[in-house]
Chains A and B, each alone.
Chain A
Amino acid sequence: MSERGPSRPRPQLVRAEGEGLGIDRELLVRMHELMVKARVLEERLIQMYKAGHGYFWIGGPGEEAFNVPLGLLMKRGQGPAYDYLHGHYRQSATLLALGEEPVGALRQMKNTATDPYSAGRNFAGHFTKRAWNIAPITSPIEVQYAIAPGTAMAQKRFGGDGITIVTGGDAGTAEGDFASCLVWSSRPGQELPILIIVTNNHWGISTAAATQQGAKSLADRGKAFGMRTASVDGNDVVGSYLALKEAFGYVRSERKPFLMEAMVSRLYGHSSASGANPVPGEVDCIATFEEQLEKGGILNRAAMVQVRERWTKEIGEAARRVRDEPMPAPESIWNNIYKERS
């Protein structure tokens, strides 16, 4: 287990100790691979930044155990029949779990013309993919919470079982947009099919959460709005998967909001602005998971090492290819300011 302190709520749906891992082997192996792939990608992005192949790094090492199940449970596609994700900049594992190729993130880091998310315009980790309902990730903290009820409203109107998922960090819940999200998602008689997620890493850049917010639990804020809520250990991939599955099921069928808080780690600090170096004392969800997998006889150490080596090689080769790709042309600044009617 990865409990970090007495105040930490216990995950709700985790199996009791000694009961096996609670979900089937194939899914465990798949989640492990995606978590490792996401970690390798983030570490490569950090390396690119440190080697001068990018100006800034921000990303999600430490959120893989939560973000991989999130991506796996999403209904991928375009339009209100499918799930919308209004994510934040620590979401690479979700994108990979949805099936995204890692090379796009490398291209965005290197700000090449081939960057599929912004053509060299935006920071690393600022994904967007309309074909899969991935709303553009932006740098301002928490604005996505004000926008997300709009897609959920369209989905409520559309019918079907598509839902909206919005994620953000704990520090930004101090912004009014988080309150906007709670209000707009729970208007009486007009509740929205929205899964509101806060990944709580206990920090806002250098400021400890405990010094700024008196709320004992961020999930509890949903209770004032009559929402179902849960607080989960986001470093526990099995617990996260099961809790998310439950929440997705509720929002999909009941067409009502759900607020989930996930306790996660921030393994390399806030961003490259704080050095992007490993932070001691943070729980590493992959290390924890690998111990469980080994102990449970799901994967042996050699197989897990091999997964890491394979992705290290593959993503390393992709990074070398990206290095030689062209920068965007200066005149491209004038492109796509507006959409023109076709």
Chain B
Amino acid sequence: MANMAQAVRMALHYAEENLGVTDVFGEDVGPPLGGVFTATQGLKTAWNSPLDERGIIGVAMGLAMAGQRPVAEIQFCDYIYNTIDLLKIAGNTCWCTNGDWNLPMVVKTPVGSGIRGSIYHSHSFDATATHIPGWKIVMPSTPLDAYGLMLSACQDDNPVLFLEPKALLRIKGDEPIPGEPADERALSKMIDAPLGDRSAWKPDWPALEPYFVPIGKARLVREGTTLSVVSYGRMLPLCVRAAAALAETGIRAEVIDLRSLWPYDWEAIRDSVEKTGKVLFVNEDTEVTNFGEHLLRRTVEELFYRLLAPPRLLAGKFVPGIGLADPLEAASVPQLSDITEAIRSLAAEQA
């Protein structure tokens, strides 16, 4: 099975061939490197940009204005912060011009911790991103969803932010990308750039098929009745593992992968919470004015009388950075043990 980086690469290839994507660009995105996470190797429209995040976002906007369909990369979301007002303009252009202009553009950027990335390669961006109206924001937790969400992002006529949980980019999926060969070594031979001199290398793309994950649609990953766990990105597989382990103790946690942060699938959350009466929101961004707090507020306001216990949020600590040393990172963002404990504790709480 393809890993998430390969899935993103295949989606971009499909989008270049079939969805009108004209540019995949950013720092080290083109040859020879093909992206620091290899997600853009071998793409025919990939090119390297100057080391200038504001230029990258600005040029993506200009290309989109002139009828192109760019996919721009910010190498790590930790470096996207100096583009915030351009992201704001990209998000408000359609509204400010009362529909005169729209910007069909995708910005992809790796987010989150889990690779020992220390202070400037571990940050999350979902809390900040969800403060910028006018964008659609997606964040996959599996290679297949990464493929399907990227196709939807490339097809959209509005700016879409594609957040890549960087610790999951090298993780293989359980479900194949439609069209990928059964043998993953064969896939690697076809689409992974060789080590050493790559100047003559060309990928041999498999016959990929369309697979669109609609933006705004969550996925019910695990059914349960005791409580609901709503998460996305890197935290999602940890939630699934915690739920599976706790099933042996009789706790049946339902796990929802939100997949889209904006617009998000409130119906999926509501239906689950109405069934279980308990909900835990999990993400790794800093916990103050965290997106999970919005979900929690809405849960309280709209579902209060269906709740059997106070809804909870498990998120990253509100500290200025994620330290390099293992104990520092583990103390800063939720770990499997934290999630397990949070589920156990919520399950045990009596109304």
Chain A contacts to B: CB under 8 angstroms: 79-80, 84, 86, 117-119, 121-122, 126, 128-130, 135-136, 138, 140, 143, 145-155, 157-158, 164, 176-177, 180, 183-184, 187, 335-341
Starting from the known contacts A80-B67, A154-B67, A177-B58, 17 additional A-B residue pairs (CB-CB under 8 Å) come to A117-B97, A118-B97, A138-B89, A146-B59, A147-B65, A150-B60, A153-B63, A154-B63, A164-B62, A180-B52, A180-B55, A184-B55, A336-B97, A338-B102, A338-B136, A338-B157, A340-B157
What does the 1/0 interface line of B52-76 toward A look like (CB < 8 Å)? Answer: 1011011111111111101000000
Given A136-B97, A136-B101, A153-B59: A146 in contact with B54 (beta carbons within 8 A): yes
What does the 1/0 interface line of B63-104 toward A look like (CB < 8 Å)? Answer: 111111010000000000000011001000111111111100
Most buried by B among A79, A84, A119: A119
What does the 1/0 interface line of B300-333 toward A look like (CB < 8 Å)? Answer: 0000000000000000000000000000000000
A84 touches B50 (CB 8 A): no
A79 touches B94 (CB 8 A): no
A143 touches B86 (CB 8 A): yes
Given A151-B65, A183-B50: A143 in contact with B58 (beta carbons within 8 A): yes
Closest chain B residue to A154, Cβ basis: B66
A151 touches B66 (CB 8 A): yes
CB < 8 Å neighbour of A337 from B55, B70, B133: B133
Q: Which residues of B contact A128 (CB under 8 A)?
A: 96-97, 100-101
Bound: A151/B93 CA distance, A: 15
Given A129-B100, A146-B55, A177-B54: A338 in contact with B66 (beta carbons within 8 A): no
Q: Is B272 interfacial (CB 8 A cutoff)?
A: no
Q: Which residues of B contact A79 (CB under 8 A)?
A: 66-67
- Whole-angstrom distance between the Cβ of A162 and the nearest chain B Cβ: 9
Closest chain A residue to B62, Cβ basis: A150
Q: Which residues of A contact B64 (CB under 8 A)?
A: 150
Chain B contacts to A: CB under 8 angstroms: 50, 52, 54-55, 57-68, 70, 85-86, 89, 93-102, 133-134, 136, 157-158
- Whole-angstrom distance between the Cβ of B340 and the nearest chain A Cβ: 39
Closest chain A residue to B104, Cβ basis: A339
Given A84-B66, A339-B157: A119 in contact with B98 (beta carbons within 8 A): yes
Q: Which residues of A contact B100 (CB under 8 A)?
A: 117, 128-130, 136
Bound: A151/B50 CA distance, A: 17
Closest chain B residue to A187, Cβ basis: B50
A135 touches B96 (CB 8 A): no
Most buried by B among A136, A150, A176, A177: A150
Closest chain B residue to A129, Cβ basis: B100
A140 touches B66 (CB 8 A): no
B52 touches A337 (CB 8 A): no
B62 touches A148 (CB 8 A): yes
Closest chain A residue to B98, Cβ basis: A119
Given A122-B96, A138-B89: A338 in contact with B67 (beta carbons within 8 A): no
A183 touches B55 (CB 8 A): yes
B54 touches A153 (CB 8 A): no
Bound: A80/B86 CA distance, A: 22
Bound: A157/B69 CA distance, A: 13
- Whole-angstrom distance between the Cβ of A328 and the nearest chain B Cβ: 9
B54 touches A154 (CB 8 A): no
- Residue contacts A-B, CB under 8 angstroms, 13 given: A80-B66, A117-B97, A117-B100, A135-B65, A136-B100, A140-B85, A145-B58, A146-B57, A153-B59, A176-B54, A180-B50, A336-B95, A338-B136
B59 touches A121 (CB 8 A): no
Q: Which residues of A contact B66 (CB under 8 A)?
A: 79-80, 84, 150-151, 153-155, 158
